[in-house]
Structure 1
Amino acid sequence: MAGFTSNEASYFLVRQPSLGFSASTNSFINKTQYINTIRALLPTLNDFGVDAVTFEYTDWRGLENPAVYRDAAENMVGDYSFKCPVIEASLARARVGGKVYMYQFNHVLSTLPPSTWTGVLHSSETTMVFGLTMVPNRNFTLEEERLAMEMMRLWTNFAKTGNPNDPGSETWPVFNQTDQSYIVLDTQPVRVAQWPRARPCAFWREYLWQLQEQTDGLLWKPAAAAGGVQVSLPSLLYIHVGLAILQLVNNH
């Protein structure tokens, strides 16, 4: 069994006030702070890569939305650090014939402050799986209690048999390479979706690191020397040091 919440990164971003995030504000960061978040997560990424990530996760339809860069950062960190690794690992297991049951937990707990931007926090599904909705005076809703009962049943079935479904039921399909089916869990009836985070995970897997590899050298090449011969930075350094030593020798 493998899965993720809808907003995996927010729990960690609110602990980064230096980047502009906070649980007590709307965290409406600007583009510079968004880029700083990318650089903080991926310090070895070159300028071409940073530009690519910035572009990929910006909602170009909503640039007037004050939350556009905050949401871009949350999606970016969540995909890179949690969602895509879970999906890629599940695909690897499916390729060798292993059974995987994948879920997305999509419910914002009612016990959170109504003004919070953090959404469906990392590991918030454990509240349901361990039945915390049934603890007296926790003020969960009836819908949340029902969701908890459903999830406890699915998780218990899986622990007992390796299959979360009831006998004769296929509510939760096996995740496979063909359609990558998974279920969405919230207070609505359980529903099946397909191809989780297909585009962004392909961006990380198929594009970004290849771009980094192909452009790294471009950022380190100085202008051509006289006669059109390229001179590397280490060579320039050695020439500079050599000239300095020669000057010292001549002065003495």
Structure 2
Amino acid sequence: MINVIRTIVVVALAMLTFDAVAAPVIQTQSGQLSGAWDGHVFSFKGIPYAEPPVGPLRWRPPAPPVSWQGVRDATKFGASCEQARRDPTVVIPWTAEYTSTPSFSEDCLFLNIWTPALHPASKLPVVVWIHGGGFDHGSAEVPVFRGNHLAQQGIVVVSINYRLGLFGFLADSLLDAEQGSSGEYGMMDQVAALEWVKANIASFGGDPAQVTIEGQSAGAMAVHHLLAAPSAEGLFARAIAQSNSWADSTLVPRERAEAVGEKLVNLTGATTLEALRAVPADQLLALQADPRLGDHVSFFPVDDGKFIPDGSKERSDVPVLLGSNHDEASAFSPTWQISTTQAYQTLLDQRFAPLSARFAALYPAQDDAAVPSAVRQLLADSASAGVIAWSKARDSRAAPAYGYRYTHAEPGPLAARFATFHSSEVPYVFGTLEYGHRPFTAKDHAISRQLQSYWVNFIRTGNPNGPGLMTWPQLDSGNFMQLGDKQMVTPLLSKAQRDAFSDWLAAGGKIGLF
């Protein structure tokens, strides 16, 4: 009988332990959250970090989240921010694991957390992921952004949504009259998410003084903006910018943004903010792509005079890790398809004037067969030249910065076409190779472990180096770390190439990823 009772007690305790692990409950400033046990870590999803920006709150700075009673379920992702739906027939390198088909809504200001510990005394380093997508699409729900693998290495991983497209970056005189400025709502969302993290992350085992912001593509541009924004000061200690596009981080001039905004407002027929805020989201999305707005119109962060005041520079007291993939342009730029010497010469004349002859000598193509490789190398070096230019502009006493180039082509049906494409490093950094159906090999997993080791070290200390890893020198040494198929420390660009890019920039050239 005693053995039976003992067995019942053991089973009961085991059930209690399982329930405690399976449904952890955490207290935040807004209320309690019930999460889940996600393999080897705890996860909490769909956490509101601001009040839904809908109705009268559309195109307003984010407001603090409304408190709730009882325990809120945090086991499912919240809606992704409104955006145009992708055409599934377009041939792109990003298969399903790079995209998401969740519910979309203006009520989308949610964040997600993966953590190995749930006690404030843990004081684990924290990384906040800012997704890319050209500031007009994307989601924290994308499978390759899942944080469970990184969290297993002793860090707290946070991913966030933020308003996109015209919902996040509309500038207009009506909004200016109401608020004094407009066009930075999506960036304000990111600051609000970081403020939420600072106030609440200790309950999830994180250290609010050890937060790293990490972004890719538009997320990398956002990292640069946050480095310069006074409202973000003190909210993070380190920064990572993947597919870094520092040269494209310039804010859209206010006059230009407002001219587009005025056209869009006129197309809605609204004459008041109340009427404009009542226009259905799908109607606004349709107008966002209306040719009457002009050619190649995008809604990007605006120079509103407030979020980043005139003359503001990036803070130099924050260690930064940044770099690019070898073939960033393969998914976007028609330049990637150039195959004749005539077309190559046109590219040089149009993009690299007045130094086109100098670049032709540095990146020669004697015949049509040599053009594709010359173009590929020129575009890769151009992206790295942007990192070099950023580094040279920093104060000599700035915190350490580390540059990289990633060279491993992700396997898949279009690997030969897109090579080391834009964002192909992301699943390796997150360790999420299990998503999707690509023919990964032991080499892919080894590269993933290597990248994660460097990234986790940086998130912990501001320095990617650690035991068992090749030493990664700081950028001020003039060297990059090449990661991927062949790891090595390299200057990447010769002195002649560096000088050519520097002189071209001084003559008005503009370096971009694509």
Shorter-chain TM-score range = 0.5 to 0.7
Of 173, 186, 191, which aligns to 2:472?
173
Residue 218 (structure 1) aligns with: none
Could you tell me whether the CA contact under 8 Å between 2:328 and 2:420 is conserved in 1?
yes
Distance 1:50 1:165, change over 3 A: closer
Residue 501 (structure 2) aligns with: 204
Residue 77 (structure 1) aligns with: 379
| Aligned CA-pair RMSD | 3.1
Q: Does 1:156 align with 2:456?
A: yes
1: distance between equivalents of 2:451 and 2:407? Answer: 13
Identical amino acids, percent of aligned pairs:
21
Distance 1:93 1:20, change over 3 A: closer
2: distance between equivalents of 1:32 and 1:52? Answer: 17
2: distance between equivalents of 1:84 and 1:151? Answer: 22
Q: How many residues matched?
A: 188
Residue 192 (structure 1) aligns with: 489
Distance 1:93 1:53, change over 3 A: same
Deviations along 1:166-213, one digit per CA (max 9) or x if unpaired, are 3x6673333243x4233221245x4323x2213322212146856x9x
Residue 424 (structure 2) aligns with: 124
Stretches of structure 2 that go unaligned for 5 or more consecutive residues are 1-320, 510-514
Residue 410 (structure 2) aligns with: 109
SS at 2:465's partner residue?
Answer: coil
Could you tell me whether the CA contact under 8 Å between 1:94 and 1:176 is conserved in 2?
no
Could you tell me whether the CA contact under 8 Å between 1:165 and 1:172 is conserved in 2?
yes
Could you tell me whether the CA contact under 8 Å between 1:79 and 1:201 is conserved in 2?
no
Of 439, 444, 451, which aligns to 1:139?
439
Residue 8 (structure 1) aligns with: 328
**1:84 CA drift (Å):** 0.4
- What amino acid is aligned across from residue 402 of structure 2 in structure 1? Y
2: distance between equivalents of 1:50 and 1:165? Answer: 39
Distance 1:51 1:192, change over 3 A: closer
**1:114 CA drift (Å):** 5.3
- What amino acid is aligned across from residue 74 of structure 1 in structure 2? R
Residue 56 (structure 1) aligns with: 362
Could you tell me whether the CA contact under 8 Å between 1:131 and 1:149 is conserved in 2?
yes
2: distance between equivalents of 1:75 and 1:20? Answer: 11
Identify the structure with the greater helix proportion.
Answer: 1
2: distance between equivalents of 1:180 and 1:11? Answer: 29
Could you tell me whether the CA contact under 8 Å between 2:323 and 2:387 is conserved in 1?
yes
Q: Which has the higher contact order (CA 8 A, sep 6+)?
A: 1
SS at 1:2's partner residue?
Answer: strand
2: distance between equivalents of 1:84 and 1:121? Answer: 18
- What amino acid is aligned across from residue 369 of structure 2 in structure 1? A
Could you tell me whether the CA contact under 8 Å between 1:184 and 1:192 is conserved in 2?
yes
SS at 1:4's partner residue?
Answer: strand
2: distance between equivalents of 1:136 and 1:119? Answer: 17
SS at 2:481's partner residue?
Answer: strand
Could you tell me whether the CA contact under 8 Å between 2:409 and 2:415 is conserved in 1?
no
Residue 35 (structure 1) aligns with: 345
Runs of 4+ in structure 1 over 4 Å off = 207-210
